[in-house]
Amino acid sequence: MNDAPAVPAVTEEPKVKADRPKVAKQPKPVAKKSVKKAPVKKVKAAKQPARKKATKKVKGSKAASKRRAFPYITVAKLWARGKTIESIARSIGRFEKSADDPLHSMRCFLHRMHSVGYVNGTGKRVKLPHRVKKSTLAASRKAGRKAAA
């Protein structure tokens, strides 16, 4: 059989911590938590009363219709094509049949577009050109002033 001498199994003894010198434990550094400060409330000036939204009641119905934005660019294009005030008003839905002056609001908008101007598609304020000579405009202004005096 085997001529080698039998070697007894070696068992390791657990290491004893007593070999090390005792050192006082130091606490591990802890990450500081960010403390959120309470938001500072801004003091507002005296509150203005809320403005009423522009609404227009329609006769015969209880529901109020909302304000519609005026289509300045569409009106300018129709004006450039030579359309009449009435045809422009009908095409954009501003012709008021039951009113004493069905084109009043349309003329007011045209007057504002001529004098103050409107914002075109590129974001520039431009004035609507008149379709008559400047001399005719001057004559009509002069006649209006004379009639008012």
Flag whether 143 is in a domain: yes
pLDDT the model gives residue 37: 72
Flag whether 42 is in a domain: no
Strand 64-66, strand 55-57: pairing = antiparallel
Percent of the chain predicted with pLDDT > 70? 65
Flag whether 44 is in a domain: no
CA 93 to chain centre: 26
49 or 104, greater pLDDT = 104
Flag whether 40 is in a domain: no
Instruction: Flag whether pLDDT at 143 surpasses 60.
Output: yes
What is the number of structural domains in the chain?
1
Flag whether 90 is in a domain: yes
Flag whether 30 is in a domain: no
Q: Domain span at residue 114?
A: 68-149
Flag whether 120 is in a domain: yes
Flag whether 45 is in a domain: no
Q: Are residues 95 and 103 in contact, defined by beta-carbon separation less than 8 angstroms?
A: yes
pTM over 0.75: no
